[in-house]
Structure 1
Amino acid sequence: MAKRITICAGIDTGKHRLDVALAGSPERTQVENTPEGHAVLLEWLQHHKVRRVGIEASGGYEQAVVAELRRKRLVVVVFQPAQVRAYAEFLRQRAKNDKIDAALIAACTAAVKKIHPAPDPRLQPFAEHLTMIDQITQDIARLKNRLESCRSERFHKLWREQIALLAKHKRAELKALVVAIRKHRDLAVRLDLIESVAGSGLPTAVAVLVRMPEIGQITREQAAALAGLAPYDDDSGDRTGVRHIEGGRERLRRALYNAALPASFRWNPQLKALYQRLIAAGKGHKPALIACARKLLVIINAVVARGTSWSADPPATARASAT
């Protein structure tokens, strides 16, 4: 029996237009990045019997077409810009325009060997809501920095009022987000499991639930890598470099790192022991906290996989799975 060939297409996303190319073919098209344009795109893809579509993340401009393609049951691979750039460097391709980029993404799509399941579509609006809350947090931090260097009492008063107002908005938005999540029973159960881990407060639990839909279904190594908390070797020949973290989901990593500090000093006995052991072994404060953030995620992953709330003294089998 002849092997069925998967026809792949690549889409270069613009705010107003989508450039589309077929892998290994001169076929090209361009459509508007609107619902009407998406309908035309689907007809074109169906005409060419395309089964897999690659698209580069582009500041959210790709989200509507990705949702529509997945709704029509096409396999969609969303690439980060760094992945596409790396593939272009591998091919030694220096020329760049929208049509060339679409063809490059198509070739990149055809080269993908492992296709990950599409994320839960329910989480997309939650992710946008959580990003807005993160941005409020960043605004508060910027205003607090202004306070430190401000000498005017009037300006001090203004910044303090703005900080209080933003903090109020942040609490209200987090509450609204949690209410929306809890309307889905399975997500509510998962959120409670994550929050049961000491040191994983409600904001951290929401971040893990929304930013890592795979939680509880992947290995500890995969979880650490996805969060950008996996230590990578930097060795060559006789040289042994310092292990370092790289890549991953930045907002999730920041949430876990921020949770690791109080958890490692007050809330979680496992993280407290880990932090003290690493410091005693000569590790610095920041590397020790990164290790604690990774451990916190590994524990959360094990708790969700097990389906039972965290315990400060888990059974031996659970301890083995979380280490």
Structure 2
Amino acid sequence: MHCIGVDVSKQELVTFDGKVERVFPNDRGLPEFRRFVKRAEDAFIVFEPTSTYSRRLETFCRMQRILCCQLNPRIVPHLRQVGRGRSKTDSTDAELLYRYGIERGHGEASELSHDPLSEAIQARLACYRVAQKARVAYQGLHEALENDPATARTLLSELKREIVALKDKEQLYLVAAQRIVEEDERMGRRLDALLSIPGIGPITALTLLALFRKSPGATRSQIVALAGLDPIQFQSGTSVHGKTRISKRGNRELRKRLYQATLSAARYNPTVKALHRRL
């Protein structure tokens, strides 16, 4: 395989293939990068998923059925330290990704899966989170200004209207996500099953449903790792015994939803409540 390490930024892709460093624009369709990869025989790409910035590269790899190794962004700093603490630049990161691919990436490389239903749910939930974050910020601002006698009443009224509008948007995105699921009879039944669990609300249920669709063959331990809830031990000989903690190297949103659902279940779900008390 022809390994290509790719460091993704907002405007460009910096690549390293073991010989030459190249820079390509991170524009729609990645035409220049496409021509470069087409010339390489049996290529596979190693990169860090960076949400919005890497979306085009992910789409390109999925559509072209190119093997990829998506490296957790938390790993690269450790690779840099192993490489004698080299400076962080786009070119050095591309080289680090390439070297990881040569050493270990072949066994981890796979084609990116595409599930329209899961992606549609995640898109609506992302819009929901943005609207919710904006509403909370407006509510905090309203509470602060409300206690200031110098604040004009018209401004407070405008903020109240904005808060109500954002609440409506939150509900709109949530209902849209549920409707997308309900259009698929099988997924609709699964959503109902998740919602029947005490402590699981619509947001958590939709988040879990998207996860199960994206990773259909995942085991229990793999789901725990995907959420970043797997335990990490710190122990060396007889003198070093660090406190065991969760890795937090998985999906932050999934971990947040599961945590909130657990808090609710510890209060209202008799089985979980008994387990919580025992622990």
Equivalent residues in 2 for 1:183-194 (5 A)?
183-194=183-194
The TM-score normalised by the length of structure 2 is: 0.83
Partners of 1:92 and 1:152 in 2: CA distance: 55
Which range moved further: 147-156 or 66-75?
147-156
Equivalent residues in 2 for 1:1-323 (5 A)?
6-22=1-17, 25-35=18-28, 38-110=30-102, 111-112=104-105, 113-115=107-109, 118-122=112-116, 123-146=118-141, 149=144, 150-152=146-148, 154=153, 157-211=157-211, 213-214=213-214, 217-236=217-236, 237-247=238-248, 248-266=250-268, 268-278=269-279
Q: How far has the Cα of 1:16 moved from its partner?
A: 2.3
* SS of match in other structure, 1:233: strand
Unaligned stretches of 5+ residues in structure 2: none
Report what 1:292 is aligned to.
none
Partners of 2:86 and 2:199 in 1: CA distance: 47
* Number of residue pairs aligned between Structure 1 and Structure 2: 269
Partners of 1:58 and 1:120 in 2: CA distance: 18
Q: How far has the Cα of 1:86 moved from its partner?
A: 1.9
* SS of match in other structure, 2:256: helix
Partners of 2:114 and 2:186 in 1: CA distance: 12
Identity of aligned residues (%): 23
Against the structure 1 CA distance between its residues 240 and 207, is the aligned structure 2 distance closer, same or farther, given a 3 Å change threshold? same
Against the structure 1 CA distance between its residues 175 and 74, is the aligned structure 2 distance closer, same or farther, given a 3 Å change threshold? same
Which structure dedicates a bigger proportion of its chain to strand?
2
* SS of match in other structure, 2:245: coil
Q: How far has the Cα of 1:117 moved from its partner?
A: 5.8
Which range moved further: 171-180 or 206-215?
206-215
* SS of match in other structure, 1:81: coil
Q: How far has the Cα of 1:201 moved from its partner?
A: 1.7
* SS of match in other structure, 2:258: helix
* SS of match in other structure, 1:162: helix
CA RMSD of aligned residues (A): 2.7
Unaligned stretches of 5+ residues in structure 1: 1-5, 279-323
Query: 1:256 is aligned with what amino acid?
Result: L
Q: How far has the Cα of 1:9 moved from its partner?
A: 0.7
Q: How far has the Cα of 1:73 moved from its partner?
A: 0.8
Partners of 1:144 and 1:243 in 2: CA distance: 38
The runs of at least 4 consecutive aligned structure 1 residues that moved more than 6 Å come to none
Query: 2:82 is aligned with what amino acid?
Result: F
Against the structure 1 CA distance between its residues 51 and 188, is the aligned structure 2 distance closer, same or farther, given a 3 Å change threshold? farther
